[in-house]
């Protein structure tokens, strides 16, 4: 997001959590401000003078035990401060996971059907934002429900895949095709949602391409120019993928139609081959990134 917004000349400062890796922000001269979504004072200081808020703050359930509080109370705090200081546009990144973890094709009209605590927290954040959009015209609120992200620097799918490829054996759940999104396409859509004429209260589903995990792994192996076996999870097989990522892959959610894309002006630019090539090139430059912690 920082890279994309910098290219558009649209960013001056960004917030981060304690312990965040700031290499990207530093590289583009973006003013970094440490904030806490549960602290109004830090949010006021960070957002002063801003006219657009891009919210991507969301800890994952297998990493942060406080994800429910951050995903619900934190988003509400962010919206309250944005309203107080007169922010014009508030673009919130949600997840396709709110549609539940059962194999299905979903559309912009699909009603959330969360089943896990993380999904319920993300769905509740969406509800709070949509309720606010009905009460007040500002800030203009747009929700982006993105399919599972794949690309360099993704630590819960990309890095485990690279580790397994490096070890010569990739173990994945047996599943079908699913929708995936490249981070640069997410950034493009969020920017267009903030600067376009999308009505407040709009929810947009987002994907870059559809692929099965097996197909993705095999294409990535070719892009890296190495030899590795791809097999499906069995009774005694062990995958390096986190449990939540395994659940995402098994759910194989697929976005059906994207009627809002035309109005948004969104056009997926990073396909499956381009994603795999980008990941392979990144690995060649940053091989240390796949080292186990």
Domain ranges of the chain: 35-290
d(Cα 238, Cα 119) in Å, to the nearest integer? 25
Place of tokens 């709110």: 98
CB-count burial class (<10 Å; 0-12, 13-18, 19+) for 212: middle
Angle (CA) 109 110 112, round 5°: 130
User: Which pLDDT tens digit goes with each residue over 95-142?
Assistant: 999 999 888 889 877 888 888 888 999 999 999 999 999 999 999 999
35-290 under CATH 3.40.50.720, yes or no: yes
d(Cα 184, Cα 188) in Å, to the nearest integer? 6
Place of tokens 């015209």: 137
Q: Which residues lie across from 174 on neighbouring strands?
A: none
d(Cα 176, Cα 182) in Å, to the nearest integer? 19
Question: Is residue 61 predicted with pLDDT exceeding 70?
Answer: no
DSSP annotation of 116 reads S
Mean pLDDT of the chain: 88
**Nearest Cα residue to 117 out of 39, 53, 158, 62:** 62
Q: Which residues lie across from 211 on neighbouring strands?
A: 178
**In the chain, what's the furthest Cα-to-Cα distance?**
57
Q: Give the pLDDT of residue 262.
A: 85
Q: Give the pLDDT of residue 290.
A: 75
Q: Give the pLDDT of residue 235.
A: 66
Question: Is residue 293 predicted with pLDDT exceeding 60?
Answer: no
62 band by pLDDT with thresholds 50, 70 and 90: low
Percent of the chain with pLDDT over 70: 93
35 band by pLDDT with thresholds 50, 70 and 90: confident
Coil, strand, or helix at residue 3?
helix
């Amino acid at each position: 997001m920082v890279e994309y917004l910098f290219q558009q000349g649209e960013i001056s400062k960004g917030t981060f959590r304690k312990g965040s890796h700031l290499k990207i922000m530093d590289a583009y001269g973006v003013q970094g401000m440490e904030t806490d979504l549960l602290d109004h004072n830090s949010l006021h200081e960070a957002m002063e003078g801003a006219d657009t808020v891009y919210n991507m703050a969301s800890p994952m359930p297998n990493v942060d035990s406080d994800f429910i509080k951050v995903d619900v109370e934190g988003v509400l705090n962010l919206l309250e401060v944005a309203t107080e200081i007169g922010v014009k546009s508030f673009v919130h990144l949600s997840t396709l996971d709110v549609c539940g973890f059962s194999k299905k094709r979903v559309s912009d009209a699909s009603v959330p059907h969360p089943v896990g605590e993380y999904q319920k927290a993300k769905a509740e954040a969406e509800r709070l934002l949509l309720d606010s959009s009905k009460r007040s015209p500002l800030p203009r609120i747009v929700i982006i429900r993105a399919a599972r992200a794949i690309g360099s620097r993704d630590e819960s799918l990309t890095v485990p895949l690279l580790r397994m490829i490096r070890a010569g054996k990739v173990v994945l759940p047996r599943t079908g095709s699913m929708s995936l999104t490249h981070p640069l396409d997410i950034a493009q859509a969020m920017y267009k949602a903030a600067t376009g004429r999308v009505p407040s209260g709009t929810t947009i589903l987002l994907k870059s391409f559809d692929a099965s995990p097996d197909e993705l792994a095999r294409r990535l192996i070719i892009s890296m120019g190495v030899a590795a076996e791809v097999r499906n999870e069995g009774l005694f097989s062990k995958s390096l993928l986190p449990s939540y990522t395994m659940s995402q892959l098994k759910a194989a959610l697929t976005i059906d139609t994207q009627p809002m894309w035309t109005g948004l002006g969104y056009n997926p630019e990073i396909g499956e081959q381009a994603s795999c090539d980008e990941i392979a090139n990144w690995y060649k430059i940053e091989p240390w990134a796949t080292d186990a912690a």
